[in-house]
Amino acid sequence: MRDDPCVFIVDKPVGPTSRELLDDLERHLRSGPLGHAGTLDPLASGVLVVLTGEARRLQDLFMGSWKTYEAEFTLGAWSASDDAEGPFTPSGVAVGSVEPARILPLLAGFVGTIQQAPPQRSAVRVEGRRAYELSRKGNDVPLAPRTVQIANIELLHAEDLRIRVRVHASPGTYIRSLARDLGVAAGCGAYVSQLRRTKSGPFGVETAVVAADLRTSDGLSLTEALRHYPALHVREDEASDLRHGRVILAPPFESERTIAWWNDQPICRLVAAAPATARSSRWIADPALFMNPNRQ
């Protein structure tokens, strides 16, 4: 067990929910409560960022990262879960073989800023209850569309009624919804038959550790994990100002995911105190994300 807050990059297997996996890891690592930065469905695998101790206070920072997925979509039927859990309803439309020339223009229509309704079986709360709880009881759950961004959809393979795609998308994007909406556009129904998250922010599956093999020594310190995010290196007097809730001036930069560093240690996330001018901007520490600068 480690005493310092750390970040584990875990390769989640197909089967457990994200919460069930955390419960297993808490027992395996003999740790305190764990948090994660971005739910993966039971039938999905891949990168799950797991947080310990004070690192859980940074959950929204890690969760706000863009994600990359590789997915298989099966056409020709609808799924109540929008994935391979089902139950399924054949569309009754003769699809034939999936041709790239037909699919590529449809996929292109989802690239950019789009409106996307979450799946009926999702963790979105409706009047205090999870949508999936209501849906599994046969209730039709009205879920308002949300604005998401999809930077790129790459068609990797197309054969028979299945296509494989790589998707790079903003946080909050549902790949199951993308499959469902592609099925609408194609007029024949579609669902996710396989899903793997290959990247969450700066963390890729190539550096992830299989959950069953995870050891405490595999955890990244906050210093290591936060080096991947935009940084502003401040002087000692500026670090003192930030600790006491005072404003500092800095060259303008766009990211509100910027971490202030002093003495080669992350101390806080910066938030804008006033609109930036052409020459400078005013920043204060996010009080919810202030860290001990002397801690690794």
Looking at the annotation, which residues are catalytic?
41
Residue 43 Cα to chain centre, angstroms: 16
Calpha distance 173→180 (Å, rounded): 13
Would you say 164 and 157 are in contact if contact means Cβ atoms under 8 Å apart?
Answer: yes
Estimate the share of the chain in helix, then strand, then coil, as percent rounded to the nearest 5: 25, 40, 40
Would you say 48 and 69 are in contact if contact means Cβ atoms under 8 Å apart?
Answer: no
Would you say 192 and 83 are in contact if contact means Cβ atoms under 8 Å apart?
Answer: yes
Calpha distance 196→124 (Å, rounded): 21
Calpha distance 285→102 (Å, rounded): 50
One-letter amino acid for residue 89 of the chain: T
| Cα–Cα distance list, 6 to 112, 130, 214, 217, 225 (Å) | 34, 30, 13, 10, 8
Calpha distance 287→121 (Å, rounded): 35
Q: What is the DSSP string of 226-264?
A: HTTS-EEE--HHHHHHHHTT--EEE-----TT-EEEETT
